[in-house]
């Protein structure tokens, strides 16, 4: 399976334009949707962190959200246990929230919390200093709350940084239809505000990559943008992700270089093309969906800025964690 996926990815990337100025290659780790089944998955997650620290030696690790299942309490105690583990990574840890941390917290089996209050708690706990990553080693990042303070000062979780000519961007785009819940007025209002912030952040990222002649752009978020569950020949207007997809469509034209979207949500390792609102491929794009839930493993993303495709992928399996 891995060889077929990688072969497909290489076929996609082979047609992308060759960058110019030399930049040093590096690699990072991509994970998400873990620890999921709490508390039993703490042991598996600890094992994965230990292997990453001792064997993988990444420049940094990204966690694309869902730090618990959608059937687990959204308590401060559980948040703290995950935060402590994030800060046990030797290299920097970049995190973008998932829906299970806040949008689903109104559920009785989640503790019947107010999702907006839980979102505020996630921001205060996991982003105490918007200019720094998590992990034992902190990475300097730019936050939308600073770069676009006047209009989007609340969005401490949306960050970006450049490494060896590649722009990395986190965007707070989540499952559960991106919190576009028509039966809940508060949810709808939250969605529209955050959606506007995300789109502005993505548009700015692709413009920055173009203007600074960067090699590639990596966007990291929780949501599977194509989890539509409707029988349409295109992405329906009711999708809470349609504006994000349109931002990628514009970005592909604005920037013109390789774009990688890394996300979780569906708990399956997948590498394929991104598609637009018409469900046709977006040029120069590829998406990586990471392992998650009962598959407590990682994916090493190798970045070679001086190659045509820039990105390569290797699974990072912890055999003791099973089910892969």
Residue 138 tokens read as: 């902190």
pLDDT tier, 8 (very low <50, low <70, confident <90, very high otherwise): very low
CA angle, 123 as apex, 122 and 126 as ends, to 5°? 75
Residue 179 tokens read as: 């919190």
Instruction: Tell me the per-residue pLDDT of 225-276, one tens digit each, with 9 for 90 and over.
Output: 987 655 567 887 778 999 999 999 999 999 999 999 999 999 999 999 999 9
Is the Cβ–Cβ distance between 220 and 263 less than 8 Å?
A: yes
Mean pLDDT of 4-18: 41
Q: What are the start-end ranges of the H helices in 29-109?
A: 41-51, 76-86
Distance of CA 69 to the CA centre of its chain: 17
Counting DSSP H helices and E strands in the chain, the numbers are 9, 12
Is the Cβ–Cβ distance between 276 and 265 less than 8 Å?
A: no
Instruction: Tell me the per-residue pLDDT of 109-124, one tens digit each, with 9 for 90 and over.
Output: 888 899 999 999 999 9
pTM: 0.91
Instruction: Tell me the per-residue pLDDT of 283-302, one tens digit each, with 9 for 90 and over.
Output: 999 999 999 999 999 999 99
pLDDT tier, 184 (very low <50, low <70, confident <90, very high otherwise): confident
Is the pLDDT reported for residue 5 higher than 50? no
Domain boundaries, the chain: 2-318
Is the pLDDT reported for residue 2 higher than 90? no
- What is the reported pLDDT for 233? 73
- What is the reported pLDDT for 230? 58
Spatial separation of the C-alpha atoms in residues 311 and 102, rounded to whole Å: 32
- What is the reported pLDDT for 14? 39
Strands (E), 186-228: 216-220
CATH superfamily to which 2-318 belongs: Metallo-dependent phosphatases (3.60.21.10)
Residues in the chain: 324
């Amino acid at each position: 399976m891995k060889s077929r996926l990688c072969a497909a990815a290489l076929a996609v990337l082979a047609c992308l334009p060759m960058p110019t100025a030399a930049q040093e290659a590096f690699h990072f780790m991509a994970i998400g949707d873990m620890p999921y089944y709490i508390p039993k998955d703490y042991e598996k997650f600890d094992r994965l962190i230990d292997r990453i620290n001792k064997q993988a030696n990444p420049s940094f690790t990204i966690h694309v959200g869902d730090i618990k299942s959608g059937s687990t309490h959204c308590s401060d105690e559980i948040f703290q246990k995950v935060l402590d583990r994030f800060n046990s990574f030797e290299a920097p840890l970049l995190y973008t929230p998932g829906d299970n941390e806040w949008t689903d917290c109104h559920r009785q089996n989640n503790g019947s919390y107010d999702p907006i209050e839980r979102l505020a708690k996630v921001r205060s706990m996991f982003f105490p200093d918007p200019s720094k990553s998590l992990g034992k080693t902190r990475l300097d990042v730019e936050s939308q709350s600073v770069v676009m303070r006047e209009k989007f000062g609340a969005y401490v979780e949306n960050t970006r940084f450049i490494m060896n000519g590649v722009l990395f961007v986190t965007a707070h785009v989540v499952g559960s239809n991106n919190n576009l819940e028509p039966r809940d007025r508060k949810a709808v209002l939250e969605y529209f505000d955050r959606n506007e912030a995300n789109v502005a952040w993505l548009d700015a990222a692709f413009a920055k990559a173009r203007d600074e002649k960067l090699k590639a752009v990596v966007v990291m978020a929780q949501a599977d943008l194509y989890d539509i569950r409707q029988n349409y020949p295109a992405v329906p207007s009711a999708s809470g992700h349609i504006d994000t997809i349109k931002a990628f469509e514009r970005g592909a034209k604005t920037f013109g270089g390789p774009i990688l979207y890394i996300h979780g949500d569906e708990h399956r390792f997948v590498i394929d093309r991104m598609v637009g609102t018409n469900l046709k491929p977006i040029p120069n794009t590829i998406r990586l969906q990471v392992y998650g839930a009962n598959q407590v493993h990682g994916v090493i993303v190798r970045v070679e800025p001086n190659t045509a495709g820039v990105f390569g992928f290797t699974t990072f399996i912890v055999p003791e964690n099973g089910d892969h």
